[in-house]
Amino acid sequence: MVFGYIEKNKNKLIGLTKELVSIPTVNPPGLNYEKIVDLLEGHCKALGLGTKRIIVPLSELKRYNVKGGSKRINLIATWNTGSKKTLHLNGHYDVVPASSTWRTDPFNVVVKNNRIYGRGTEDMKASIAAILFAIEALKKNNIQPACNIELSFTPDEETGGRTGFGYIVKKGIIKPDYAISEGYNKDFISYGNKGLVWFKIDVKGKACHSSQPYKGINAFEKMVDVVNALMKLNRKIAARKTQYRVKHPQDRASTMVLGGEISGGAKTNIVPDSCTFMIDRRFLPEEDLCKVKREITDTIKNLEKKDKDLNVNVSVMGEEDSVVSDESSILFKKFKESVKRVLGMPAKCALMAGATDIRFLIRKGVPCLGYSVDGGHTAHSDNEFVYVNSLVSTTKIFADIMMTLN
C-alpha cells in the first residue's frame, strides 16, 4: 500500500522537490533560511507532526565566525508513537552557490530524461522531500511507524555544520537511538567518513625592487621549496590505504591537496615578501589526528633548519577527526533489508571520503548511517540533478525503515 501510494503520487513528490529547490538557500552567506523553514514547518504541521524551532544564538555564530545571512534556524519535527526507541532523520537545507555557467536558472527546476535539475537537488533537498513524502505515505495509509520518528532540517552544513546540526547535538536537544542523514545511494550505505585538517601555510620573505633581487628574499621561491617537500611527503601519504570498505577504489588512500587557495605578491617588479597557500588533508580512521598535523609541521621545520632564510607560519584552520559507526547495529541490519526489498539487491557499507553532519551523532555513540537520493555524484556541479526513479525508490526505503525499525 505504502509503496503503491509513493509510486502513484510521484509527480507530487517531484513537486515537493521543486518547491524546496525554488528557495535559494545559498550558503555562504546563508540566504532565505526563514523562508524555507516556514515552508518545511508548514508541511510538517500538515502531516500532523509536532514542530519546534531552535535558533542558534549570536554567541555561537561569533564562535565559528559566521557572519551575514539569515538567522540560523534548526527545525525539529516529531511523530511520537509511544515507542521506547527513536529514529532521527536529518536533512540540511542550505546549498552551495551556483556559478554563472548554469545553462538554466539553477533555482527553477527542470525535469528532463528522468532527471530533476536544480541547485540543491542532490545535496540535499530531494532527500528532504523523500523523508517528508515517506511520512505522508504512512499517514495516508494509516500505518504507524515501529518507533518514534524525529526529523531535523538544519542550516550551515556547507560551512561545517557547527551552527546547524552540530549545535542541536552539542546542546543535547536531540538524543535519538538511531539516525540517518545524507550519504551514499542505491546499494551503498555510508557508515562514516575520513578525517580532515585544513592548513594555512604562510611563507614570509623580504620585499625589494626586482632589478636587485639579491637585496630581498623571494617568498615565492621559498614557497616552491616548501611545496616540493610536501609533495615528497604526499607520496608517502598516498601509499596509506584504509582497511574499511570504500565505494570507489581511489577512496581507499589517504590524500593531501595543496593550493586550494593561493595568494601573495604585490606587483610584477617587486620581489614578493609573502606567499600563502592552503592544504586540504583527508586522513584515514587508522591514522591519528595529532600525528597527521605533526608530520606537516615537522616537514616544514626540517626545511627551516636547513635554510636560515626560510620563515614559515603554519596555521590549522579547521579539523575533524574521522568517524565510523557500528555496522553490527540493528539499524544497519534493518536498513539493508529495506534496500533489498525496494531495489532487489544487497546493500554494502562504505566509508565516505568527505564528511557530513551525521559525524556529530556518531561521536556520541549513536548508530548512524548515510543514505541519499542518487544524482550521479553531481552535487556541486553546474548541472546538479537527481534521478526521478532514485527519488521514488529512496522515498520507499525511508518509509520501509520507519515501518520496520524498532
- Give me the helix-helix angle, 10-21 and 33-46, nearest 10°: 150
- Together in a domain, 349 and 313: no
* pLDDT of 104 over the 90 cut: no
Label residue 84 by pLDDT band (50, 70, 90).
Answer: very high
Mean pLDDT within 272-300? 98
- Together in a domain, 219 and 304: yes
Label residue 380 by pLDDT band (50, 70, 90).
Answer: confident
Question: pLDDT tens-digit profile of 337-370?
Answer: 999 999 999 999 999 999 999 999 999 999 999 9
- In the prediction, which pLDDT does 210 show? 97
Secondary structure letter of residue 26 according to DSSP: B
Beta pairing class for 115-117 and 110-112:
antiparallel
Domain closes at, from 292, 318, 344: 318
- In the prediction, which pLDDT does 229 show? 98
Secondary structure letter of residue 124 according to DSSP: I
Domain closes at, from 318, 334, 352: 318
Nearest Cα residue to 24 out of 114, 111, 102 = 102
Question: pLDDT tens-digit profile of 123-147?
Answer: 999 999 999 999 999 999 999 999 9
Instruction: Determine the structural domain holding residue 65 and report its residue range.
Output: 2-193+322-404
- Together in a domain, 211 and 336: no
- In the prediction, which pLDDT does 383 show? 87
Mean pLDDT within 12-25? 98
User: Residue 239 CB: number of other CB atoms within 10 A?
Assistant: 9
Amino acid at position 220, single letter: F
- In the prediction, which pLDDT does 386 show? 97
- In the prediction, which pLDDT does 100 show? 86
Cβ neighbors of 372 (< 8 A, separation 6 or more) are: 122, 123, 124, 126, 127, 182, 183, 184, 185, 394
* pLDDT of 177 over the 70 cut: yes
- Together in a domain, 17 and 154: yes
Mean pLDDT within 103-123? 95
SS3 assignment for 161-212 = CCCCHHHHHHCCCCCCCEEEEEEECCCEEEEEECEEEEEEEEEECECCECCC
Beta pairing class for 73-79 and 148-154:
antiparallel
Domain closes at, from 278, 296, 318: 318
- Together in a domain, 11 and 74: yes
Contact predicate 388/18, CB 8 Å: no
* pLDDT of 379 over the 80 cut: no
* pLDDT of 377 over the 70 cut: no
pTM: 0.94
CA distance 203 to 226: 9
- Together in a domain, 185 and 60: yes
CATH number of the domain enclosing 229: 3.30.70.360
- Together in a domain, 20 and 163: yes
- Together in a domain, 6 and 148: yes
Mean pLDDT within 175-180? 98
CATH number of the domain enclosing 375: 3.40.630.10
Mean pLDDT within 185-214? 97
- Together in a domain, 108 and 246: no
Label residue 114 by pLDDT band (50, 70, 90).
Answer: very high
For 378, how many CA atoms within 13 A lie in the half-sphere containing its CB? Answer: 19
Q: How many structural domains comprise the chain?
A: 2
